[in-house]
Amino acid sequence: MRLVAIGLAAGIFSAFFGVGGGILAVPLLILAAHLPERVAAATSLLAIAITASAGVVAFALRGEVDVAYAALVGLPAAGGAVVGTSLQQRVRTSTLTYGFAVLLTGVGVWLLAS
């Protein structure tokens, strides 16, 4: 049930804010499902692919998808994901955890300030 709840929350956040759900899913997979950081990140990426597919179909049915822009963003992002995965494997898990916490804190402060 925890995983289902995490998935539901990630899907809602993804659709509302376009965050891909990973900002919510990864910490919850670590804290609530007790997955290791790397497994949580990888699991979240596959879940996001499923979530994104459902979301794009819903938006496409409304005519709200710009395929050219999506390609211009998505193709480099796919390359970045390959590079990021390679780099992530070289970083200690504690560094990943603290780095992610700093990123989320920084984004939160930035959003509150704007």
How many helices (DSSP H) and strands (DSSP E) are in the chain? 5, 0
pTM of the model: 0.73
pLDDT at 103: 87
pLDDT in tens, the chain (114 residues): 888 888 888 777 777 776 666 788 888 899 999 999 899 989 998 988 888 898 899 999 999 999 999 999 999 989 998 998 899 889 998 898 898 889 889 989 999 998
Query: Cα(95)–Cα(101) distance, rounded to whole angstroms?
Result: 10
Query: Cα(38)–Cα(34) distance, rounded to whole angstroms?
Result: 12
pLDDT at 19: 67
pLDDT at 18: 66
Q: Total domain count for the chain?
A: 1
